[in-house]
A and B are shown apart, each in its own frame.
Chain A
């Protein structure tokens, strides 16, 4: 039985320090917490994106770990290549981890991720989802939610932000028959720590999709990053689930959802939404939950 991780028993040592992410950046918190579990011996691969941009600012290096910037489309290819290299070198308990943003995962890196999961190699892939291409200035990605204003889906007269819904990236990873997949949120940090621990223990590929608010891109106060990440689960707009041994499992089934409107209006990217559009968002949420409860129970 693996020991349950919590704020008190995690490693006090920091492996991600002095980075240049904006104050209150959700992605940087996800990386920092993941590294508390993965440890300084893990080898990290990061494609272009905020986390690479804020860590490797020559001559600074904010990781204690060995870490490399990969070509954008190749996070999982590089991570599995490093895993093979570590094995060839006879490293004991080699651990190779890819960290990529939503754009780097659901759009640009999806092919190499699919290939790596398909090969069944042991590696961990963590998608830090801030729902747009932030490092290049807030462009829509395949994981931008309906209604969100980005620079490529602005809130104008004709169109009110993003017209598509989020790709089901967790289900896409699971559909490969992956060894372990999970969703998480930095609003539920201890749940995330334990999912990273499971991914670390697992023999094959593991995928974790974590929700990470971005104060700069979403237009919210830097102090409420964690609040929003908790609220999004409590409103049912995001969910905590796992896929293991071929089965889906919901970790949290809210009895009643918190009101969506209050949560959305705290973020500038949703402030233009009309009541009708907010109702539409609620309907999308209810459809998703109906399916999840029916199929994953």
Chain B
């Protein structure tokens, strides 16, 4: 995926990797949210009509728009809330239990 996929950074190994003082740089994301998920949204691209609703309504911004037709889920940050699947009219997204993926 392109640069819009966020990866946690920096992975802190020692105290010197941790920002000091009461401020830090923007998008200083050190860990993922993937472990929050019980259900995983899985896309069936053959059913997707490119309506943009999942991308618009994900509270975590975890659905990235590669182009006007291709939407990809960043599973590092998707929390499995199910909003995308619930809003997808053609039913292109299904919520699958993590241990059954």
Contact = CB atoms under 8 A, between A and B. Distances in A.
Interface in B76-90: 77, 79-83, 85-87
Interface in B18-62: 18-19, 24-33, 36-37, 51-53, 55-61
Contacts of A60: 28-31
B12 A23 contact: no
A223 B86 contact: yes
B6 interface: yes
B27 A225 contact: no
A8 B61 contact: no
Given A23-B79, A60-B30, A222-B81, A17 B6 contact: yes
B56 A189 contact: yes
A12 B56 CA distance: 10
A150 B38 CA distance: 27
Contacts of B95: 223
Nearest to A32: B61
Interface string B57-71: 111110011001000
Contacts, number: 107
Contacts of B18: 59
Contacts of A270: none
Interface of B: 4, 6, 8, 12, 18-19, 24-33, 36-37, 51-53, 55-61, 64-65, 68, 77, 79-83, 85-87, 95
A223 B27 contact: no
A53 interface: no
B83 A223 contact: yes
Interface string A26-55: 101100110000001000000000000000
B65 A64 contact: no
A222 B82 contact: yes
Helix, strand, loop or mixed for chain A's interface? Answer: loop
A40 B25 CA distance: 13
A285 to B, nearest CB: 26
Interface string A48-75: 0000000000111111111000000000
Given A17-B29, A59-B30, A62-B29, A8 B68 contact: yes
Contacts of B58: 29
Nearest to A29: B59
A156 interface: no
A8 B55 CA distance: 10
12 contacts: A14-B6, A17-B29, A18-B6, A19-B60, A22-B79, A32-B61, A59-B28, A60-B31, A61-B28, A63-B27, A66-B26, A223-B95
